[in-house]
Amino acid sequence: MHNTLTEHARCLYVDEYLPTPACGQEHCEHYFVEELTFADADAIVSMLRELCPNLVDGLLPVWMRDLAFRLVLLQRPDEPALLREAAQNLWLHGPDWDSVAAGLTQQADVLETG
């Protein structure tokens, strides 16, 4: 059994920085998505920062990063640093979401200027 969201992600997607733990479980992506869906923001941010510490690296799929950031922002909509981090993630992975990234950056600016 995985003790944390990060451990579950590391088993499922592998980690380029740490070895994959031997857990003896079968890994199904939909179970991880369910766990992610109901995880608290601290657990999600911890997973993102451990598996993708430099934002441009990590083996976590891009769509999973996007979903994780979206879930974090739903729980913490008023944190400019998280808004900017989510925007950077979107900008790094193609132009499809540039307007959303710009909106997140604008929202962070508004929050910071109060």
75 Cβ neighbours under 8 A, 6+ residues apart: 40, 41
Q: What does the DSSP 8-state code read for residue 52? A: S
- Cα→Cα distances 51→15, 48, 65, 103, Å: 6, 5, 10, 26
110 Cβ neighbours under 8 A, 6+ residues apart: none
The number of beta carbons lying within 10 Å of the beta carbon of residue 4 is: 14
- Is 63 in contact with 56 (CB distance < 8 Å)? no
User: Domain residues of the chain, as ranges?
Assistant: 5-113
Q: What is the pLDDT of residues 44-99, one digit of tens each?
A: 999 999 988 887 788 889 999 999 999 999 999 999 999 999 999 999 887 899 99
Token pair 């199904």: residue: 28
Q: What is the pLDDT of residues 89-105, one digit of tens each?
A: 999 887 899 999 999 99
Question: Can you give the pTM of this predicted structure?
Answer: 0.90
